[in-house]
Each structure stands twice: as structure tokens, then as C-alpha cells.
């Protein structure tokens, strides 16, 4: 594991964007696994700059996102589809028909999960998966549990996740209680993984995940079993 500690969020974002850009240069038709939340926003801004300066071409990139809230469609301003459009896709030359986010409004979420896993398989798997980490150690929305779940599946969000994400909604009551998330199989089968985390509040969970026992109660600890993980942590 490559663990990079930096001081500022700006440094983190620049380093993460460089790694993603290198992946795209190395394989222009790569499959990027993408994340939402506050952690990757700066990384996406850097990627947008590179694209708009003519340094980076997204035209043959495919993306698959980690997760989506159950019950929010892509027009809802807190849906993860909307987040991806406004924070990245609307500002770069990616073909939106090749950007995928699980459908949180699917009638049958188990079928949607199976279809999402089949899609990732048909794409040849993920070349580089970008991750954030929750305060409870979740990656995607794989919350602490007795087992690691392999497939894309519906989850009930932990109270701590609802608390953490309430900042994005008008009130805590508005935060959806459920989500659909990529499972550990697709995440861990990615050829490379890049996790970004910032702020003092994430320090303990980063250390527990990377250096503590591998335990589904700390979902990100599974990353210790992956052969090519880079973690970038910034203090602020």
C-alpha cells in the first residue's frame, strides 16, 4: 500500500487528479470507478482544469459510480447522478451515455444490483477505483457488518452516515435511509484503488482501516488485501 500524507486538501486534490489523469493517458478507454461526497470534489475540479486546458481527454473514458440513494432520481439535487453531472461530467468531454450510476429508483433493487455487476463485468472491470471513506469506515455505502458483501446491493444507512450527510440536505429527516451500493467484489477487483480522505475527523478511521485487523466491522480494512492501493490523506 502506498500511503501518502499531505498537509492541505489542495495538495491531496492535485495528487489524486494526477493519478487519475495518468490512468487516462495510459489507457484512454479506461473504466474509472468514481465516488461522490465532499472528499473528491477538489480532485474533480483539478481534472476539469486539465480537460479544459486541453491536457486531458475524457472522450473515450467510461465511468461507473459507487452508489446512489434509494428513491432519489437523477434530477434530485442530492442524488449522486446529479452530483456527478454538476461536479464533473457537465464540465469535461466525457460521453454521458458511458457514465453509469446505480438506479436508486429501480422497482427491483436486487435486479438492479445484479444488472450493475453484470455491466461492470461486461465493461471488463474497473481500471481505477476512486474511494472516499465514511467516519464508520464505509467505502461506497458498505456499512460495518458481520460480513463483507460481494455484490451490488441495497443497504440501510448507519445513523452516523445519516448524521454526516445531513449537511447536504435541508434537514436530517430529508436524508434517505437507504442506498444501493457497489459491493466489495467490484471494488476489490478494480486493478488499482485510490482512496482520498481529509480532515482530523478521518485520521482515526484511516489508521484503523489501513493498519488494524481486517474486519467487516471496519469495511475499508478489506483494502489491506488489495495489491495496488494508494491512500492520500490530508490533515485539513
Tell me if 94 sits within 8 A of 85, measured CB to CB.
no
Q: Which of 53, 48, 51 is nearest to 13 (CA)?
A: 48
Q: State the nearest-atom distance from the C-beta of 55 to ligand F6R, in Å.
A: 26
Q: Which is nearer to ligand F6R, 23 or 39 (by Cβ)?
A: 39
Which one of the spans 7-15, 34-42, 100-108, 184-192 is the region binding ligand F6R (CB under 6 A)? 34-42
Would you state the torsion angle of the CA atoms of residues 46, 14, 230, 84, taken in this order, to the nearest 10 degrees? Answer: -20
Q: Give φ, ψ of 182 to 5 degrees.
A: -55, 140
Q: Which is nearer to ligand F6R, 39 or 152 (by Cβ)?
A: 39
Q: Could you give the CA distance from residue 74 to residue 37 in angstroms, rounded to a whole number?
A: 16
Q: State the nearest-atom distance from the C-beta of 115 to ligand F6R, in Å.
A: 19
Site for ligand F6R in 191-220 (CB under 6 A): none
Three-state SS at 151:
coil
- Other Cβ atoms less than 10 A from the Cβ of 180: the count is 27
Give the catalytic positions in this structure: 67, 136, 138, 143
Site for ligand F6R in 64-83 (CB under 6 A): 66-67
**Is residue 102 involved in binding ligand F6R (CB under 6 A)?**
no
Q: State the nearest-atom distance from the C-beta of 50 to ligand F6R, in Å.
A: 21
Tell me if 72 sits within 8 A of 78, measured CB to CB.
yes
**Is residue 153 involved in binding ligand F6R (CB under 6 A)?**
no
- Other Cβ atoms less than 10 A from the Cβ of 25: the count is 12
**Is residue 224 involved in binding ligand F6R (CB under 6 A)?**
no
Q: State the nearest-atom distance from the C-beta of 82 to ligand F6R, in Å.
A: 13
Residues at the site binding ligand F6R, with contacts judged by CB under 6 A: 35-39, 66-67, 132-134, 138-141
Amino acid at each position: 500500500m502506498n500511503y501518502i500524507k499531505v498537509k492541505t486538501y489542495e495538495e491531496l486534490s492535485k495528487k489524486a487528479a494526477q493519478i487519475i489523469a495518468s490512468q487516462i493517458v495510459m489507457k484512454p478507454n479506461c473504466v474509472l470507478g468514481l465516488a461522490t461526497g465532499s472528499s473528491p470534489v477538489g480532485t474533480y475540479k483539478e481534472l476539469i482544469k486539465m480537460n479544459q486546458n486541453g491536457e486531458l481527454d475524457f472522450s473515450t473514458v467510461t465511468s461507473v459510480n459507487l452508489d446512489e440513494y434509494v428513491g432519489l432520481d437523477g434530477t434530485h439535487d442530492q442524488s449522486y447522478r446529479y452530483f456527478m453531472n454538476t461536479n464533473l461530467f457537465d464540465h469535461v468531454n466525457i460521453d454521458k451515455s458511458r457514465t453509469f450510476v446505480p438506479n436508486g429508483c429501480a422497482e427491483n433493487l436486487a435486479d438492479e444490483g445484479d444488472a450493475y455487476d453484470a455491466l461492470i463485468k461486461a465493461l471488463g472491470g474497473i481500471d481505477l477505483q476512486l474511494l472516499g471513506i465514511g467516519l464508520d469506515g464505509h467505502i461506497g455505502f458498505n456499512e460495518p457488518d458481520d460480513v463483507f458483501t460481494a455484490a451490488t446491493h441495497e443497504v440501510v444507512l448507519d445513523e452516523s452516515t445519516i448524521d454526516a450527510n445531513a449537511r447536504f440536505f435541508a434537514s436530517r429527516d430529508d436524508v434517505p435511509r437507504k442506498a444501493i451500493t457497489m459491493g466489495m467484489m467490484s471494488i476489490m477487483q478494480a486493478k488499482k484503488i485510490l482512496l482520498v480522505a481529509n480532515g482530523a475527523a478521518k485520521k482515526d478511521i484511516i489508521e484503523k482501516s489501513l493498519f488494524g485487523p481486517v474486519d467487516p466491522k471496519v469495511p475499508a480494512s478489506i483494502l489491506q488485501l488489495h495489491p495496488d492501493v494508494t491512500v492520500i490523506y490530508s490533515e485539513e
